Structure 1
Amino acid sequence: MLTDKEFVRYQRQIMLPEIGEQGQQSLLNARVLVVGCGGLGSAVALQLAGAGVGKLVLCDDDSVEISNLHRQLSYRESDLGSSKAISLANQVRQLNSSINVRSVNRRMSLDTLLLEVNMADLVVDCSDNFPTRQDINKACFSNTTPLVSGAAIGWDGQLAYFDYQGEKAPCYHCLYPFTESNQATKCSESGVMGPNVNMIASLQSMLAIRALIEPETLNAAELMVFQGRTMTQQKFEIAKDDTCAVCKKGSN
């Protein structure tokens, strides 16, 4: 049951019929793992904390650089040289002191991900490289833990939700069956529009909140692609790959 303080703090959100007091309680009880504390992860963490997600685990091995600040608005010049995971955790605590937040200041190996994912109700992938994304997918599939995956580069971005429920449910590896790409996939390699990153992060946060309170309403086989230059979006069905090395029957 919500306390009076919680009700007042989240009342604008509770007013939404899709959330209500029960949905808010679900958020307060939830544990979310955010992998990557860069442009996407730094925004996602604060938005989830603002919404009242009770437990957050923030993972990143990087430090804040001055070139981050045009899009990673959770950090300040005073954070330069500091651990992103630790700095972001401090920002979360200042925004919402009732949130239980833990920072993991190291690169996440598959073994570590398997442990962290096992303790999470939901994972939000905000990483910037295919090997990590593939390991996150493997850990989520192994634990049957829902995953919100997002990426932003240049003017464009994309996101998808995977719930790993049923034999016909696709996984991230079905969509991208490789660990490396010839295309530039990092902001440092091809540039990025700051508001585009925050746009995708906001969509990830909204998808994450819905996954925690009303997962039955989500389509777990859909890729949304956003084009910032034209301000348009498209949706594509993600097909299950029966030969997928991760989620094909009998792969575990």
Structure 2
Amino acid sequence: KRAVTWPFNFYTIIWTLSKLVLNNLKNTIVIIIGCGGIGNFLSYSLATFTPEKMILIDGDKIENSNLNRQLLFTTKDIGYSKADILKKQIQLRNPLLDVTSYDRYVTEDLLEKSIKLTDNKRYLVILSGDSITALEETTKYCVKNKIPFLNVGYLNDISVIGPFYVPRISSCPYCNNTLSLEKHEKDSMQNELLNINNKYEAPSSFTNNALASSLAMSDIIQFEAEKLDKVKSLNKRFGIDNVTFKNYTLEVPKDKDCSFCSEENK
């Protein structure tokens, strides 16, 4: 019988990347903005790697309606801060992890005060907030301080991630206004539609939260493995339909004239 031949150094490659991912994450300060369904999943998953520190930011309080998808909360937590309770739950599972929580909505100023930047540290910001303001404030801070960040969310039944902003390498969410996030100077109808869209909240469920979080973890691991060619949300928004499993890709090319991340404004 002919022996099965695995790809060259298959297990060696996996083991080497695993050590690199573990080492990089252990030396990374992870900032999670939004401690709802996606924030629950991602903080739980990333905590297993014991990063150097985890910072949790969310001004929301826990409600009964959250419990169908925010798996680390219980009925006893209703009325309390999502960020504070998530910190408690994460540390129960990993007492070695240094976690700080902020019961406030994200602003550029809050990020400046909560993250003590030093040259020899690694940082990663994950945004799962559901407001344009949160995205704008996070983008401004990360671009100014050259910190990689990933936007994670869902559009109804489509779980989406990206674009994964890597300083000097990839696009930010505002490049070319591909995602229609910036207002148009002359198009009043477009601006009105944007305002309506900003007020709309898509239904949130276990499925779209869990799938979006899984997609994000896959790209985060590839990023920490320093395999940027394997990051699916680099210069694009990537999504998967929760019902059909069809995948969608919206290209977000890097824009040299972007009002947020162009070289002139860095």
- How many equivalent residue pairs? 235
2:189 corresponds to: none
Q: Normalising by structure 2, what TM-score?
A: 0.80
Q: For 1:106-121, what aligned pairs fall within 5 Å after superposition?
A: 106-116=104-114, 119=117, 121=123
1:138 corresponds to: 140
1:93–1:178 CA distance, 2 compared to 1 (3 A): same
Tell me whether 1:172 sits opposite 2:186 in the alignment.
no
1: CA distance, partners of 2:220 / 2:199: 23
- RMSD of the alignment, in Å? 2.4
2:53 corresponds to: 55
Code of the residue aligned with 2:142 in structure 1: it is: C
Unmatched 5+ residue regions in structure 1?
1-13
1: CA distance, partners of 2:107 / 2:262: 23
2:7 corresponds to: none
Q: Normalising by structure 1, what TM-score?
A: 0.84
1:30–1:142 CA distance, 2 compared to 1 (3 A): same
1:122–1:62 CA distance, 2 compared to 1 (3 A): same
1:185–1:125 CA distance, 2 compared to 1 (3 A): farther
1:26–1:65 CA distance, 2 compared to 1 (3 A): same
Give the C-alpha shift of residue 82 in structure 1. Answer: 0.9
Task: Give CA deviations for 1:158-202 in whole Å, capped at 9, x if unaligned.
Answer: 101110225xx321111433275422666xx44233211111012
2: CA distance, partners of 1:118 / 1:244: 27
Tell me whether 1:248 sits opposite 2:262 in the alignment.
yes
Give the C-alpha shift of residue 33 in structure 1. Answer: 0.4
Unmatched 5+ residue regions in structure 2?
1-11, 184-193
1: CA distance, partners of 2:237 / 2:198: 20
1: CA distance, partners of 2:210 / 2:199: 17
2:225 corresponds to: 213
1:103–1:236 CA distance, 2 compared to 1 (3 A): same
2: CA distance, partners of 1:196 / 1:44: 13
Partner SS for 1:51? coil
**CA contact under 8 A between 1:149 and 1:159: conserved in structure 2?**
yes
Code of the residue aligned with 2:15 in structure 1: it is: P
Q: For 1:1-252, what aligned pairs fall within 5 Å after superposition?
A: 16-116=14-114, 119=117, 121-160=123-162, 161-166=164-169, 169-174=170-175, 175-176=178-179, 177-178=181-182, 181-183=195-197, 189-217=201-229, 218=231, 220-252=234-266
Q: Percent of pairs identical after alignment? A: 23
1: CA distance, partners of 2:172 / 2:211: 24
